[in-house]
Amino acid sequence: MAPRYYKAFTLVEVLVVIVIISMLVALLLPAIAGARARARRASCLNNQSQVAKAILQYESAKGHFPGYVNQLGKAITTKLGLDASKSLANRADLSWVVVILEPLGHADLWKEWRVGSGQAVALSEVVCPSDLLKVGQPGRLSFVVNCGISDYLIDDKGYSEDAAAYTGYNSSLDIYDPGFGLFFNHDLTRPRITKKSTIGADGIADGASQTLMLSENLEATNWATTVLQSGVGMVWWSNKVFTSLPETVNVNGPGPANARFLARPSSNHPGGANAIYADGHGEFLSERMDYAVLRDMMISNQSRARQAKLIP
C-alpha cells in the first residue's frame, strides 16, 4: 500500500502568517482609534454648536450675552442691602446654562427654574462625549464661556489663593468693561458688583468672527450649583496686574502650577480643544497656541484693553 502524505503548514509558514496578521492589526488599530477620536471630537463640536445657537438666540432676544452668573427675578433692597431671598424665584446665583435652557430645547426645565424649583439634571448638550466622567451626570458641564479678565479678587465667592500675585488692583480700572470679554457677573446681590455689564454681538469691536465665545474645559464644574467664574467660564490674565502670570498657558498643555490659570480651553481630544466664536462658527484650537494669542482672541476690544494698560 502506497504511503499517505498529509498537507500541513510548516512552522516557518505559521510564523510568517502570524507576523503578517500582527502587522496588519498594528496598522489597523491606530486607524480605528483615530476614527473614534475624530467621531467624538465631531460629536463634541456638534454639542457645542447647539449650545452656541441657544446663546445667540438669547443674545438676539435680549440684545446682549447672558452673564456667566445671573439673578433671576428682582431682589428686594433692605436696610442690609439686596436680599436674594426676596427675589421672584428665590435664586440669584444662576449660571449662563440655566438662562439658555429654553432656546436649548428644555422649556419645561426652564419653567421649573423660573419658579424656584429647578434641579440639576443631566444635559447631554453641555457635555463632551470624551469627557467620560461627566457623561450622564446631573449638572455636569464640559463647556465654558468667555468671561474676560479674571475677577477672582473682586468676586467674594471666588478663590482664596495667595494674594502675593496681586500687585495692586487699580480701583478705577473696570474689570467688567464690555471690551474685555462677553459674559460678566450679573448677580447684583454680590458685594462689590454694582452694575450689570453687558455686550451684544454688534458691540464686539474686534469682530464676532475673531472673538471666542465658548470652549471646552476639563475643569468646568456644575451649571446648577453655586457659580464661580472659573467653574463655568474661561478667563484671561494681565501681566500688568499679576506678577505671577506664566509666559504661556497652552491649550491642553500640562496644568499650570497655579490652579487659577486652569480656566482656559482644555479637552481630552488629542492636539487641542473645540471652540466656538461669537458669530457661531467653530474651530479646533491647537494645543500649541501661545497664551498671548488665546488672550487676544478673548478680548472683544483690544484697543480698550491697551488703553487700560492691561496688554502690551
Range 64-92 average pLDDT: 63
For every residue of 11-30, DSSP letters joined together read HHHHHHHHHHHHHHHHHHHH
Residue 216 has phi, psi (to 5 degrees) of: -80, 155
| Distance in angstroms (rounded) separating the CA atoms of residues 69 and 47 | 21
| Distance in angstroms (rounded) separating the CA atoms of residues 65 and 52 | 11
Report the chain's mean pLDDT, rounded to a whole number.
80
Map grid coordinates 439673578 to a residue. Answer: 71
| Distance in angstroms (rounded) separating the CA atoms of residues 304 and 312 | 11
Q: What is the pLDDT of residues 41-51, one digit of tens each?
A: 999 999 999 99
Whether pTM exceeds 0.75: yes
Q: Is residue 120 part of a domain?
A: yes
Q: Is residue 218 part of a domain?
A: yes
Total domains, the chain: 1
Q: CA torsion 80→82→86→87, rounded to 10°? A: 180
pLDDT at 8 over 80: no
Q: What is the pLDDT of residues 171-211, one digit of tens each?
A: 445 667 888 999 998 887 765 566 788 999 999 999 999 99
Residue 148 has phi, psi (to 5 degrees) of: 75, -150
pLDDT band at residue 11 under the 50/70/90 scheme:
confident
pLDDT band at residue 32 under the 50/70/90 scheme:
low
Q: Is residue 238 part of a domain?
A: yes
The predicted structure's pLDDT at residue 22: 82
Q: Is residue 112 part of a domain?
A: yes
The predicted structure's pLDDT at residue 260: 61
Considering only residues 24 and 49, tell me which one the structure prediction assigns the higher pLDDT. Answer: 49
The predicted structure's pLDDT at residue 225: 87
| Distance in angstroms (rounded) separating the CA atoms of residues 270 and 30 | 13
Range 260-280 average pLDDT: 89
pLDDT at 128 over 90: yes
pLDDT at 90 over 70: no
Contact call for residues 177 and 185 (beta carbons, < 8 A): no
Which residue range is the domain that position 79 belongs to?
47-307
Q: Which of 17-26, 63-72, 124-133 has the lowest mean pLDDT?
A: 17-26
Q: What is the pLDDT of residues 150-170, one digit of tens each?
A: 776 544 333 333 333 333 334
Q: Is residue 18 part of a domain?
A: no
Considering only residues 30 and 256, tell me which one the structure prediction assigns the higher pLDDT. Answer: 30
The predicted structure's pLDDT at residue 93: 80
| Distance in angstroms (rounded) separating the CA atoms of residues 221 and 25 | 39
Burial (CB < 10 A; 0-12, 13-18, 19+), residue 9, is exposed
The predicted structure's pLDDT at residue 228: 83
Q: Is residue 21 part of a domain?
A: no
Q: Is residue 34 part of a domain?
A: no
- HSE toward the beta carbon, residue 243, CA cutoff 13 A: 7
Residue 11 has phi, psi (to 5 degrees) of: -60, -40
Q: Is residue 244 part of a domain?
A: yes
Q: What is the pLDDT of residues 207-228, one digit of tens each?
A: 999 999 999 999 899 999 878 8
The predicted structure's pLDDT at residue 249: 63
Considering only residues 310 and 280, tell me which one the structure prediction assigns the higher pLDDT. Answer: 280
Q: What angle do CA 122, 184, 173 make, to 5 degrees?
A: 155
Contact call for residues 303 and 290 (beta carbons, < 8 A): no
CB atoms within 10 A of CB 22: 10
